[in-house]
Amino acid sequence: MLLKGVLTSISLAVVAITTAAVPIKQRFEARQEQDLVSWDKYSLIVNGERIFLFSGEFHYYRLPSPGLWFDIAEKFKALEFNGISFYFYWGYHSPKKGVYDFSGIRDVQKAFDAAEAAKLHVVTRAGPYINAEVDAGGYPGWLTNMYSMARNSNPENDENSREWLEAIGKYLVPNQITEGGNVILNQIDNEYADNTDEFYMEMIKEKFKEDGMVVPTIFNDIGAPNGNWVNGTGSVDIYGWDSYPLLFDCANPTEWPNNRSTHWRAMHEKLNPSQPFALYEFQGGAFDPWGGPGYDACRTMVNEQYAKVYYKNNYAQGATIQNLYMTYGGTSWGGVAKPSVYTSYDYAAPISEPGLMTPKGYEAKIQGTFLHTVKPFLTTEHFEPETTNSDIILVDGLADVNSNAKFYVAQHWLTKSQDLDEFKITVDTSDGKFTVPQKGKLILNGRDAKILAADLDFNSQHLVYSTSEIFTYQAMGSHDVILVYAYEKEDGEFALKVKNGNIKVQTKDKSVSHKIKDGVLQVNYKHPKGTTPIYVSSKSGQDLLILVAGYDAATRWWAPIVDEKTGERVLINGPYLVRGAEIADNKVAFTGDIDEDTDIQVVVPENVKAFSWNGKDIKLRATGHGSWTGKLKFGRPTVEFTDLTKATWKYSPASPETQPDFDDSAWLDANHLQTNSVTVTDTYPYLYADDYGFHTGNVWLRGKFNGTADITGFNLTCHSGDASAWMIWLNGEYLGGYDVGNQDFTDLNGSLIDPEGENVISILLWTTGHEDNWNADDNFKQARGFTKSELLGIPNQTIWSIKWKIQGNLGGEDLADPVRGPYNEGGLYGERNGWHLPGFPDDDWEDATIPETKNRTGVSWYRTTFEVNVPEGYDAPMSVRFKDDTKTRYRVLLFVNGWQLGRYANDLGPQTQYYIPQGILNIKGENSMSIAVIPIDEAAQLGQVTLEPYIVLESAIPPVELVESPTYSDRVGK
């Protein structure tokens, strides 16, 4: 008979600190009625249940297809995240002061609905400032023209901030847990730690409270536990901080610092000891800049080994709230990005930009399953265990205050270590003291970390200790199941409390050995390539199935919940993705995705006799002890899409603004003599695009001056963000293309300047968004334009010697296309005239081929239509790839069905492949593609453009509706 261990006094090393973990319902002014979310020093308690909040960041505005939000939320749940964090992006919803849009792709209620469908807790983060590598740190473009400082308490900023908070609050308030929703925490501003104003923070808190937010408030201190907003005016209910320990140098992906924190526990106990230890942003990946090494390099840096070492160190320090930034990164489509980053925001996150599984995602699933299964891990106090090799290997001891359970978190002292080192741990249990392993070796092989358990009651069993990590355990009717794992070929030792005699250990693995001494069954084994079942039985009591997995096999084990109330799970190994499972009428129905023929093993209660996969019955073979095996057949579908190298393309030149006789009479006069920008000008008038209501994309300026024999040229200084560029023409003649900075154009008299007539300077400015406001210094108000414009050769010119006009996106802040919104289009001639929209009549354009065979001067536009057909029951996320070997510099805007989904810079890179999300992409028919090519050098030749899927999956992806958006006829019909 298998026995649970008798609960005796725990080790003297920890007895002094092991007081019972009794939830304390925190009370806060005017919110006494809220008792659904409480906390103590150990963790959150939600609806009376103690939880580890294993949350992930998702930006709805980086996936402009709401149907896919449900797909991503399902994947969060499948990877064992029980929470999802949403930034809410002010600028995404507000093109103009007083104007707010929460429809279509901005319908945030659908984000809440997706979280609800996946049964995820929600953390809301509405700023007003969010950072997030988005344009202006999340501020709307129109806020650049605010006179007063942002992130500061003053009447103008308070009014604007309250306007936003009231607009978004209409969606936050009814989705709180107190209203039947999923919102459990609400953040105040974001990383506000420099140039702070306590009354600004208090204003945000009071506005949320006024509008009906009652869930606990939180704050994410920047980089370390600095103590901002723990106490006093502006303070929050549950303080926490952010950390990005590997930073963002993906160019050296295997170089790690030795910077794992060992002082966070002490800082938490000093700063906010009555609250749980919270990491509201912990590094889930890394962003990559223009010209960077690309996200493959970032995935190498912040890989699954990083997740093992750094996340488990967080748990060793006592964290029970951890939000991974990012868990799904997405796409900074249109002008969403800040200047330092390009279109892809893949972030090397656990779920990739096109929604694919990654090794780090699988590791997160393993950790999350453990955290949700092993409840004693949530109420622990630290102790110093007795170990060997302690100068090389750090082992943190964690003792549960409600039981005898202990945990040992082992890692190298040097986080960058790639050495293989042995160690032993002396575990003091209610069953005796053991130095483990007693047989074989316990190792850390390079960048690895282990959480080992001892003296742990689970189901009907009592674990004395294990040198394998626990994935999960579950009662399965007449027997219990525990799944443990380690890297392949590593030794494992599993000790179980038993009653002497009548114990039978069954396995087909001849490397497994066992012995019984003093009522403890010791099982030794090698972790296999795959999974070894070991069955421990007796004539009475609950039997135990031990599943010993190698690490690769563990990544493909899934433990979907089949009963939310009881937390009951079933186990399945093999599939690429398991989205969920349900049991009804002795049948388990799995849903998920596969990428090939897949051998599966399932472990279920003995009453389950039938199985289905994605709605189709499957035949499995019983192998004993509730285990079944079989195969899922991959259908090998035909995914059809147009070969763009053979498509019919249309071409048109598109920079008439360069010609002297171009009619710019409808353009705005650029004549402002005042600005609210923080950028100092050298000459007047101000030539800053934001001052004239143009906040995104390309901007044209035209300056006219009367020639004289004395004028030799002119001088211009461009001020814009990283990866910006500007091209200039005089009287229709190309003068050059440049990065930001100053340029002299000299010796033009006698050649290009007409000394007796009017001369026209034409400038096209390619912008890449606004800076952020991280330091609360109004940095987001930096100009996008020119700080100097003067003629050369005449000393007494006036500020009106050059008369400037400016043009940007059609309508400026009064959007021509509010459906696609304020970041979709800029001021190119083709954009303003709808050339990017489906249905534009391009019949009279010139025929062309891509790759282009001609060097084209000025802006060029290419259009085509293409077909995509993905069969039902499959998911084939699609992309557009650019490839060329030209040395001439150019930029590209990629539009699919009118949506700007890519900015390509052939001279900067690194991005060449652009995700086209289903819902924007019609996967059952015709689509349109428009490509704008902007040479920086005098001429450019567009290279190869191809369509290709990232992967083809047989999938249970939820239905994804087409996003309704206007066509060309809708625009001209206005």
By annotation, the residues acting in catalysis are 191, 281
What span, in angstroms and rounded, lies between the C-alpha atoms of 251 and 261? 24
Return the DSSP state at 336: -
What span, in angstroms and rounded, lies between the C-alpha atoms of 612 and 617? 4
> Residue 324, by phi and psi: left (phi above 0), alpha (psi -120 to 50) or beta?
beta
- Look at strands 860-869 and 687-688 and give their pairing: unpaired
What span, in angstroms and rounded, lies between the C-alpha atoms of 396 and 413? 11
Return the DSSP state at 560: -
CB 64, CB 920: distance < 8 Å: yes
Q: Which residues pair with 612 in a beta bridge?
A: 589, 617
210 membership: H or E segment, kind and range? helix 198-211
What span, in angstroms and rounded, lies between the C-alpha atoms of 320 and 883? 46
What span, in angstroms and rounded, lies between the C-alpha atoms of 31 and 797? 66
In the three-class reduction of DSSP (H, G, I as helix; E, B as strand; rest coil), residue 30 is classed as: coil
What span, in angstroms and rounded, lies between the C-alpha atoms of 724 and 335? 12
| Structure-token pair, residue 574 | 């093999």
Q: Using CB atoms within 10 Å of the CB of residue 90, give its burial: 0 to 12 exposed, 13 to 18 middle, 19+ buried.
A: buried
Return the DSSP state at 691: G
DSSP string, 606-619: TT--EEEETTEEE-
What span, in angstroms and rounded, lies between the C-alpha atoms of 132 and 326? 10
| Structure-token pair, residue 729 | 């023409």
CB 673, CB 759: distance < 8 Å: no
Return the DSSP state at 950: S
Tokens 């995700």, residue?
915
| Cα-based distances in Å from 145 to 55, 674, 815, 821 | 36, 11, 18, 19
What span, in angstroms and rounded, lies between the C-alpha atoms of 396 and 386? 10
What span, in angstroms and rounded, lies between the C-alpha atoms of 792 and 51? 70
